Amino acid sequence: MPVITIEGPQMSKEQKAELVDTFAKKASEVMGLPVSAMVIIIREVEAENVGVGDCLLCDMRRE
């Protein structure tokens, strides 16, 4: 049972559904396993909790 973890910004339910569908189908194709074997975990990360270099991502967006 492969586990795919995706970390990214907040998304709508529709966006998450599309992402899960796309990843599950492609992983199934590449690995030769059924789509039902795929487990996909989405972790939404706030921009204030991400540092890029020496800056917070939320501060970089304002510049």
Q: Are 6 and 20 in contact (CB under 8 A)?
A: no
**Domain residue extents for the chain:** 3-62
pTM of the model: 0.81
Q: Are 57 and 23 in contact (CB under 8 A)?
A: no
Q: At 47, phi and psi to the nearest 5? A: -60, -25
Q: Is a pLDDT exceeding 80 seen at residue 45?
A: yes
3 vs 37: CA distance, rounded Å: 9
DSSP class of residue 3?
Answer: E
Q: At 41, phi and psi to the nearest 5? A: -115, 130
> Predicted confidence band at 49 (pLDDT cuts at 50, 70, 90)?
very high
Q: Does the 3-62 domain belong in CATH 3.40.50.620?
A: no
Average pLDDT over residues 48-60: 92
- pLDDT by residue (tens digit) across 5-39? 999 999 999 999 999 999 999 999 999 999 999 99
> Predicted confidence band at 63 (pLDDT cuts at 50, 70, 90)?
low
